Amino acid sequence: MSDTNRLAFRCQPTSRATMPRLSIHSSLGALLDNDASKRILEKYLPGILTHPRVGMGRRFALTMVAGLSDRFVTDAVLEKIDAELKTLV
């Protein structure tokens, strides 16, 4: 395969069917960049979209961000968020 063909192959857009499923182990940024998961986060974590430090947590998994939240985000809340994220197609 020529270099041109390899590059073209790598640049093919990912279909929605092959995109990784979102979960509480996804980065906060990935969850915020998806409209459906963003609504789920706002449902269970009201005010997260306007929190002054939300930008700093974008690279980290939601579970990690939750651990830094001074117990604001409980395991029960994470379980509810994860269950709803699993329903997204």
pLDDT in tens, 8-39: 445 455 445 555 799 999 999 999 999 999 99
In the chain, the N- to C-terminal Cα span, in Å, equals: 34
pLDDT averaged over every residue in the chain: 84
For residue 86, name the pLDDT band (cuts at 50, 70, 90): very high
Specify whether the CB–CB gap between 28 and 49 falls below 8 A. Answer: no
User: Which three-class secondary structure state does DSSP give residue 27?
Assistant: strand
Specify whether the CB–CB gap between 84 and 24 falls below 8 A. Answer: no
Please give the average per-residue pLDDT across 51-75, as a whole number: 89
pTM of the model: 0.75
CA distance 69 to 30: 19
